[in-house]
Amino acid sequence: MLRPAVILALALSLTPLPAAAASIAIGQAVFNRCRVCHSIAAGAPSPVGPNLHAIFGRKAGTLDNYAYSEAMRKSGVVWDDNTLAKYVRNPRAFMPDNRMAFPGVKDDREIADLLAYLHQAAQ
């Protein structure tokens, strides 16, 4: 016969724990590194890099009034959490010959926080 403590331990081990929630506030701080080149407000000018408003679901290299690299225009990439995470981690490795000079965000947590912020702020 199993003791109550053993039953409780088994039950807890089978209960999935919630993933740590991404922090929009930290994501905003991470985005400050991006803000030098990118805007996120609808209709805002693109100072150096393209405006990231409504980035999720957009095909790479298709924003009007921005001169993308040929690599970006021909990539076929559609921006979602997965593609943005890979691109932000290492832009040159993800898409060789693109123009973004940013070295990337290497920390998984910062990338998750950045994506959470973009989902909230860039829609």
pTM, rounded to two decimals:
0.80
Q: Which of 47, 52, 60, 32 is nearest to 119 (CA)?
A: 52
pLDDT at 88: 97
Domain ranges of the chain: 20-121
pLDDT at 16: 36
Q: What is the mean pLDDT of each run of 10 residues along the chain (123 residues)?
A: 47 40 92 94 90 97 93 97 98 96 95 96 88
Residue linked to tokens 């298709």: 62
CATH architecture for segment(s) 20-121: Orthogonal Bundle (1.10)
pLDDT at 65: 86
pLDDT at 11: 43
pLDDT at 112: 97
